[in-house]
Structure 1
């Protein structure tokens, strides 16, 4: 496999480096005072961490073995020209056609690695994951095959169908998609049998001949062309023209079609949508993977950039750190909660062995509410974080060479893919409203195989009876996060109850749409907080977590709880549960906790362990030497110096005009 992209060993590479040295010499470039100060600032920030940065990095990675595998994988991919674009080519500057081919070349190379036996299975998987982090287009293409396509087959297909496809999926003999261009797709379609519409069903449809890549008969498809982001992903359009597929290609775990045309429907139409849940849960990984890179870039720039009357670090401004630190906290809270969420989701798939449709629907309703609300909350908050990161880097973030713009473009689809955020949050709210009504009227709340995100509804009567938050010393919350959790649970139940009362009095769901959406956001933020309170709310660290790591995770958990209470305090005020003084006190403590974490920002972002080549941003260099690196990047850009090609045609005729007397 040959990819027409120059690597560091190509004939052009020495000339590019020589050209850089020549330009620096011609322009008489010397390091500025800022260039000399920046590495010193970065080193001082790193030394200020109150915790063991490497221990936190190992915790973030998922343990010592995972941490070491990740580092080995980064070392392996760094110099592989088929997995990481090599200098002098710049990943942030290649064309759409080059990005498409490079992304497919990554898939080809990684399949060779995975199936070739050169590395053990765990390391091979980690090589996949690190390449995934390096190129979001690869991440998207691989996720569609390995997660969406696979999950549809396994969640909605019967055992015979799963056995038929899984080996080909695992060994990439077929490349699956979610109604995009590859060899096979899964399609959800209205189904008409003997003139009667029996609703939506899922089918596996072959799109191309596997050997030649030619379109199958009666299938027409094409590429949609250039997009704002994910230029390495071949999104497409498809038309089926009287296409005939085998009856056995209807996925048949919950439905079936006899040879005589007799259709056996699912016990509930909702089960047909279960496969959309993993797409939304995929945002857990995507969010921490993409947004944490932007935060690392903005944070590193923020501690080396100096500005103002006292030439202080811009990170010291409250307007700077109070925007970035809660976002950093959110990454840790999401990463921690994702372990529980994905374990819970496993109950819906093969791990749970649920065959009873009613039990399945109860669990699916819970996972739908979690996935829908987390899609909405993280989709919007992450978009805000990216804009914050861009602003925090000033004009440098507008430069394509500093990666934030690229991350923002790739992120954009996440706010719509998997479902519109408003619709999903409204659906989550409706499930919560239903659960509350069932509890208050019939004292019913489903028993699940895991702790429900709406567990607080089981305690609804007690929480409704609380007239006001009885905490007068808000400082107590810094030592006992359960106080915040109790307040958030009470606010949720009261707001849901008020919405239900309005519905009973004649208001429509549309009349209460924005209220419902905001409550669903609060539900998700509270759930993430509750999961972390369970893990990090103990007085002392458990034996399996290093003490300084546990201490910083406690502080981040408290911050996230205060952030949630501060952000959604209006919901408590509406119910008379929070007083104006309590809201003021919460804000004061929130700002104090942010300030206390100001000196921890480099350690916290270092622990995500992104190598410089993955971040791709000169202003985010690990050693803080950002100005020289950025300048060198600009000098190697095409046509960065010299006379513009259009000078003779457009500029000279203007500047050489004779002035009129």
Structure 2
């Protein structure tokens, strides 16, 4: 079997109907980004400060070792990037290192994305100028102090206070209760010199709402805590061992008035407060955070899928000793997951473009920014929610698909699962996010039905179908029994179903059904809305004829197939909702199931090419059972041979084993 494995891998790779390197270029973001990313991988591969070198193993590092190694990566990346003097290559070096270590990715994300973004999105120009150069050059390290011990995404319940002192022109930050302790704050426990802190703002005895403040936590030179700041470590976590999550309490901590971020809300020396034009802008930083978490999804899940897929084509099992990937129960789980990750990547790119359009428009007219926030919030929320949950299912599928070998830490999937877990709650609990999306969808539907109103946005809204709500509600039945036709009319089909489901919730609310009794339907509607939006984005992007300039023909052809499969996956997954509302008949559902499994089967021999398209080197995957050339068994065995304490007498033998085994048996026959 060990000699057969490389042959199987080579055969699978040769079966790809598309140019694998061209797909990898597409995934990387284009030819130049692909070239720079490959160069970045070569730069970091043999650097002991960026990649753990044999005989040490990244997956064996203790928490303390991981913390130190991760901080060393940040230190080293800063200097490597500085030496390159190439901004694009610098980005790819950080990207490659993030692929190798999720702990590095998270620390980098906290400082570069969360901390910097709050200052740039909510701070005025003077505040941005004051901090941005220090952030870029790591003269300060920042963290994002939002969540509290008793409050996560329920920001209105935040307990931390910032009380303005008219006499000294300062804010006094205080943690009034144990549940008001800032909690789970990445980089806080050991690293951060500064934090952006969200707090209830008290002026003249009146709570004027939430604002963000920049607060120094530590002395930059000594690392000692600033006066009136208390910080501790959260301790052991399921994953992200290299991230120093901590708690923060403020004890009448004074900061200058000018450290309240003042792009949208301002306070002058006389205590005159001008609130933001819409309180929602204080939450706007969560939109790029959630979109970034979706990008992290593609990094982590693509690794797990590559591991499971490569193992699946070289592992043979059963009476016919066939490749386990040939079993329907195997490929019908793996192949839609691969399609999903390609859909997520393209959708995230589009939503990031939408956010950039909103932000650019907001610089000219703040109301443009505010008008787009509803749609951006709803889509970033449901995309984060859907990808979080489905990716958790994919990871468990990958673990099961590798049998007992995935239980070995050396094969990396368990490590990915541990690091991944935070994604289902970090940035907002998925249930809450999906409820918020449905609330927005219902608002749009009700505005259309009652007032015939629909917003004019500078990008194509995810709720564009609500313009046709009245027409969809007049015809509540799918008119064909052939599921193969549904992909041609997928958009109209699902838009009609969405409208019917939303109207059902709307009607139930009007009839007095408590909101709590509609939560399950609300979550499902938001999931389906997001999954359909993903299909529509990709159908538009890949709907052009093969041969159209801009995307290599064989890549476009396979993306068309993946998009169609994703559309059928959406119908297959949510067909129960259509049946419940009378939109689907039993014949519809049978047809959908048959078409879905047939489409998966047709892509069975494309799995290695599709996962090779993620372009992940073996040293990043870390899993011996995912070796590129298929020689998994010898590689796996060799990994264990060089592992610490893999052979020999254990150090506790003399203390616990020998005293038991060396005793004479009194019942033994004496010769």
Shared fold, TM over 0.5: yes
Q: Counterparts of 2:623 and 2:220 in 1: how far apart (Å)?
A: 39
Go from structure 1 to structure 2 and tell me whether the alpha carbon gap of 1:280 and 1:162 turns closer, same or farther (over 3 Å shift).
same
Aligned pair partner of 2:611 in 595, 605, 608? 605
Q: Which residue of the partner structure matches residue 70 of structure 2?
A: 103
Contact 1:347–1:354 under 8 Å retained in 2:
no
Q: Counterparts of 1:48 and 1:418 in 2: how far apart (Å)?
A: 41
Contact 1:60–1:607 under 8 Å retained in 2:
yes
Q: What secondary structure, in the 3-state scheme, does the structure 1 residue paired with 2:362 have?
A: coil
Contact 2:481–2:587 under 8 Å retained in 1:
no
Aligned pair partner of 2:411 in 392, 396, 402? 402
Q: What are the within-5 Å matches in structure 2 for residues 328-339 of structure 1?
A: 328-339=338-349
Correspondence 1:651 to 2:661: no
Correspondence 1:155 to 2:162: no
Contact 2:438–2:525 under 8 Å retained in 1:
yes
Aligned pair partner of 2:398 in 389, 406, 410? 389
Aligned pair partner of 1:82 in 49, 68, 76? 49
Could you tell me how far 1:355 is from its partner in structure 2? 5.3
Contact 1:115–1:171 under 8 Å retained in 2:
no
Q: Counterparts of 2:199 and 2:489 in 1: how far apart (Å)?
A: 49
Q: Which residue of the partner structure matches residue 206 of structure 1?
A: 216
Q: Counterparts of 1:106 and 1:305 in 2: how far apart (Å)?
A: 36
Could you tell me how far 1:651 is from its partner in structure 2? 3.1
Q: What are the within-5 Å matches in structure 2 for residues 211-610 of structure 1?
A: 211-349=221-359, 351-354=360-363, 356-477=365-486, 481-610=487-616
Contact 1:482–1:533 under 8 Å retained in 2:
no
Aligned pair partner of 1:141 in 99, 102, 107? 107
Q: What secondary structure, in the 3-state scheme, does the structure 1 residue paired with 2:358 have?
A: coil
Q: Counterparts of 1:636 and 1:119 in 2: how far apart (Å)?
A: 39
Contact 2:233–2:247 under 8 Å retained in 1:
yes
Deviates more, 1:458-467 or 1:272-281: 458-467
Go from structure 1 to structure 2 and tell me whether the alpha carbon gap of 1:154 and 1:256 turns closer, same or farther (over 3 Å shift).
same
Could you tell me how far 1:470 is from its partner in structure 2? 1.8
Count of aligned residue pairs for this structure pair: 623
Contact 2:240–2:419 under 8 Å retained in 1:
yes
Correspondence 1:72 to 2:39: yes
Could you tell me how far 1:548 is from its partner in structure 2? 0.8
Deviates more, 1:165-174 or 1:585-594: 165-174
- Provide the TM-score with structure 1 as the length reference: 0.92
Q: Counterparts of 1:160 and 1:142 in 2: how far apart (Å)?
A: 24
Q: Which residue of the partner structure matches residue 20 of structure 1?
A: none
Q: Counterparts of 2:572 and 2:345 in 1: how far apart (Å)?
A: 22
Q: Counterparts of 1:531 and 1:390 in 2: how far apart (Å)?
A: 30
Q: What secondary structure, in the 3-state scheme, does the structure 1 residue paired with 2:197 have?
A: strand
Could you tell me how far 1:639 is from its partner in structure 2? 1.6
Divergent runs of 4+, >6 A? none
- Provide the TM-score with structure 2 as the length reference: 0.91
Deviates more, 1:218-227 or 1:60-69: 218-227
Deviates more, 1:362-371 or 1:167-176: 167-176
Q: What secondary structure, in the 3-state scheme, does the structure 2 residue paired with 1:352 have?
A: helix
Q: What secondary structure, in the 3-state scheme, does the structure 1 residue paired with 2:357 have?
A: coil
Structure 2 unaligned spans of 5+: 146-184
Deviates more, 1:392-401 or 1:572-581: 572-581
Q: Which residue of the partner structure matches residue 7 of structure 1?
A: none
Go from structure 1 to structure 2 and tell me whether the alpha carbon gap of 1:413 and 1:147 turns closer, same or farther (over 3 Å shift).
same
Contact 1:491–1:572 under 8 Å retained in 2:
yes
Deviations 1:354-387 (A, max 9, x none): 5545433321111110111011101100000000
Contact 2:56–2:643 under 8 Å retained in 1:
no
Q: What secondary structure, in the 3-state scheme, does the structure 2 residue paired with 1:166 have?
A: helix
Q: Counterparts of 1:233 and 1:482 in 2: how far apart (Å)?
A: 47
Q: Which residue of the partner structure matches residue 141 of structure 2?
A: 175
Go from structure 1 to structure 2 and tell me whether the alpha carbon gap of 1:597 and 1:59 turns closer, same or farther (over 3 Å shift).
same
Q: What secondary structure, in the 3-state scheme, does the structure 2 residue paired with 1:585 have?
A: helix
Could you tell me how far 1:614 is from its partner in structure 2? 0.1
Q: What are the within-5 Å matches in structure 2 for residues 33-48 of structure 1?
A: 34-48=1-15
